[in-house]
Chain A
């Protein structure tokens, strides 16, 4: 019994005893740590993602629609106002021409009537 317990103690001491690291162990650990650092700085997964084509704002229909709406809102009132102004100027010019035309017509008809009256008086 005492011999058995003596063997056991011996085995236990051997198992728990200090054992030196194998040769080159420290160097391998340092190399692994350095490699891990590099992976953190530039993860392989991100680095390998395919690059998406860069879209300009003009290729985005929604942005384009908003831009067009803003442009229209800015331009339409000015165009309408300009059109109204031109139409009014045309109308005023047409009115002036009409009054001149009618006045000349009236003047000519009155002169013709006066000439007829004058010539009929002369014949009498």
Chain B
């Protein structure tokens, strides 16, 4: 009897990361950007990621190789970034569905910084063998909201690549011209 209970718990626990890894519907966040002066909406699914990786530099390009290895096991990347002209142009409640999703037990908040009117949270979705199944960042300021969700298998070293200088150009070096949904049309400062 005891064995059955333990087996049942083990089976139930094995489903927790899978449930947590279920796709979050990013359409739930569309309302946030309604009054945004500029927005960046990027959705890259697995096929698009692999296509993009195929267009990165050759084998000898070390930076390209780093990015390729980083995205090799990813299922999707979602980026939503909104800038507002004045404070109070977005409703914090519109972020509630995402915050509820990231409050599931499978997700671990590794950074939660709240300063005056700013807040930044970084969440990790651990998976077996010391790997990650996802990374999410939610950053809010009076005139800016940024959400990043990287879905897929990542090594711990990939997290360093993501936050470091290995292969990924600085945002200031990129011309942000019309990403995925074509909404943004601005130069990065």
CA distance A102 to B162 in the complex (A): 7
State in angstroms the CA–CA spacing of A98 and B54 once bound together.
12
Q: Is B168 part of the binding interface, using a Cβ–Cβ cutoff of 8 Å?
A: yes
Q: B-side interface residues toward A, CB under 8 Å?
A: 40, 42, 44, 48-49, 51-56, 67, 70-71, 77, 79, 81, 111, 113, 115, 118, 120, 122, 135, 137, 139, 146, 148, 150, 159, 162-164, 168-171, 173-174, 176-177, 179-180
B51 and A100 form a contact (CB under 8 A)? no
A-B contact pairs, 13 of them (CB 8 A): A97-B42, A98-B44, A98-B53, A99-B168, A100-B171, A101-B148, A104-B146, A104-B148, A104-B171, A105-B162, A106-B164, A109-B162, A119-B115
Contact residue among A100, A108, A109 (Cβ-Cβ distance under 8 Å from B179): A100
> Chain A 10-26, CB within 8 Å of chain B: the 1/0 string?
00000000000000000
A102 touches B67 (CB 8 A): yes
Q: Is the interface of B mostly helix, strand, loop or mixed?
A: mixed
- Tell me whether A59 is interfacial, beta carbon within 8 Å: no
Known A97-B180, A99-B169, A108-B148; further 14 A-B contacts with Cβ < 8 A = A91-B52, A94-B44, A97-B179, A98-B44, A99-B67, A100-B40, A100-B79, A101-B148, A102-B168, A104-B171, A105-B168, A108-B139, A112-B113, A115-B111
Contact B163 A101 (CB under 8 A): no
Nearest residue in A to B176 (C-beta to C-beta)? A100
Complex CA distance for A105 and B115, rounded to whole angstroms: 20
Query: Whole-angstrom distance between the alpha carbons of A95 and B55 in the complex?
Result: 6
User: Which residues of chain B are within 8 angstroms of A108 by Cβ–Cβ distance?
Assistant: 120, 137, 139, 146, 148
Cβ-defined partner of B51 (8 Å) among A90, A101, A103, A112:
A90
Chain A residues packing against B (C-beta within 8 Å): 90-92, 94-113, 115-116, 119
Q: Which of B55, B171, B173 contacts A91 (CB 8 A)?
A: B55
B169 in contact with A103 (CB, 8 Å): yes
A100 vs B186: C-alpha distance when bound (angstroms): 12
A94 touches B113 (CB 8 A): no
| Cα distance, A91 to B54, chains bound together (Å) | 8
Q: Which A residue sits closest to B173, measured CB to CB?
A: A103
Question: Which chain A residues border B67 with CB–CB below 8 Å?
Answer: 98-99, 102
Q: Which residue of A lies closest to B49 (CB)?
A: A98
Q: How far is the CB of A51 from chain B (nearest CB, A)?
A: 63
